[in-house]
Amino acid sequence: MVTGWWSPQLNALLGSLVVAAGAWLAWGSFSAWEIVLAVGTAAGFLLWQGRTIKLVWAWATLLLGLESLAWPIMMMAQVRSITTEPTDEQMGAVLSAILTGIFSAVFWITFAYGLFKRASQPSISPSSEVPDSHLPTSQSKHSRENR
């Protein structure tokens, strides 16, 4: 795998596009300036917190999970602002948003937890691995005694 100085930065840009798309889906509609602001804010945050590619995507998926959690709340606020007595169709849309939003939020937050956990573990270099052909000293001593 090729890693260079640009890898976390490129992934932060891609992650910010994903986070901005999630914000656009959660809010319903954005103007061009709001999209640029969302991408810029997310990219700045991911560049600030994401020192490695794993951390960039861990933060991006965590933000996506929080957006998924906020989506049903935004849907309820929109329905509440339109009318005081929602119709059956609006209530069905809210229920669908709640079920889908909670399922998506749990998925993305759990995925982010796994990425954070994996990012905190030290990576093992291939040169430090022990080949399978070498036996531990206790097993090699035992095999010599049986001869």
Contact predicate 101/68, CB 8 Å: yes
Least confident of 69-73, 78-82, 93-97, 126-130: 126-130
Residue 110's closest CA among 58, 49, 51? 58
- Mean pLDDT throughout 2-31? 82
Domain assignment present for residue 133? The answer is no
Domain assignment present for residue 108? The answer is yes
Least confident of 29-33, 82-86, 99-103, 134-138: 134-138
- Alpha carbon distance 46, 42 (integer Å): 6
Domain assignment present for residue 115? The answer is yes
Domain assignment present for residue 64? The answer is yes
- Alpha carbon distance 32, 20 (integer Å): 12
Instruction: Describe the chain by its helix, strand, coil percentages, rounded to 5.
Output: 80, 0, 20
Domain assignment present for residue 34? The answer is yes
Number of domain units in the chain: 1
- Mean pLDDT throughout 137-145? 56
Give the pLDDT confidence score for residue 24 in this predicted structure.
Answer: 86
- Give the helix/strand (H/E) hosting 63: helix 53-82
Domain assignment present for residue 1? The answer is no
- Mean pLDDT throughout 105-121? 93
Domain assignment present for residue 66? The answer is yes
The whole domain housing 12 covers 7-120
Domain assignment present for residue 125? The answer is no
pLDDT of 22 above 90: no
